[in-house]
Amino acid sequence: MLNQQAKFGGVFTVECRDADGNLKWTDSFPNLVNAVGKQLMLDTLLRGSAYTVVGPFLGLINNSTTFAAADTMTSKTWTELTTYTVGGSAVRGTAVFAASSSSGTTPSNVTTSTATAITYTMTGTATVYGCFLVTGSGAVSTIGSTAGTLYSEGNFAVAKAVTAGDTVSVTYSVSATS
């Protein structure tokens, strides 16, 4: 009898460069895939209803917090960093995922999809605590919006300082492991 389970997780990989392009810091951290994010993923995949991907949008977190699986965009305890632009506009970055790929063989394999890096240009001095991904019906790129479904959230082990002119590049990778 084959009993196979899948585990989903993601990793944010972040690098910061100063205005002259010099590397200031780099870090990566795992995320919490929230309950509503898992529900959205399973409902859109397995329920068979028509679904158009909205976003997903990736934003930066402005304060220290403890994440909870029950967090939603309206019930989260963190605030969104607002001192950045993406492509010259004050918006969240749109995560564009590549086609997924798998490695390994049954019963153990890893399937991964990685979004193209999003570059945030800092417009002021701030501290970045982490990142989040919001998608689903109602999700928008508007900074500070609580619309949409909070798919995941995660933070650095140690918060990162940024100044005006710095660029912060974020890549998000998600994997399903069995």
Please tell me the distance from the alpha carbon of residue 52 to that of residue 108, in angstroms, as a whole number: 31
User: Is-contact 142 92, C-beta < 8 A?
Assistant: yes
Mean pLDDT of 78-89: 96
**Quick one: pLDDT band at residue 1, thresholds 50, 70, 90?**
very low
Angle at CA of residue 82, ends 80 and 85, nearest 5°: 125
Longest CA span, the chain? 59
What is the length of the chain?
Answer: 178
Taking the mean position of all CA atoms in its chain, how far away is CA 14? 11
Identify the residue with better confidence: 161 or 136.
161
**Could you give the 3-state DSSP secondary structure of residue 38?**
helix
Please tell me the distance from the alpha carbon of residue 73 to that of residue 146, in angstroms, as a whole number: 5
Identify the residue with better confidence: 125 or 98.
125
**Could you give the 3-state DSSP secondary structure of residue 35?**
helix
pLDDT digit string, tens, across residues 106-128: 656 778 889 999 999 999 999 99
Please tell me the distance from the alpha carbon of residue 141 to that of residue 10, in angstroms, as a whole number: 21
pLDDT digit string, tens, across residues 45-79: 666 556 667 789 999 999 988 899 899 999 999 99
Structure tokens at 11: 């990793």
Residue 45: predicted pLDDT: 62
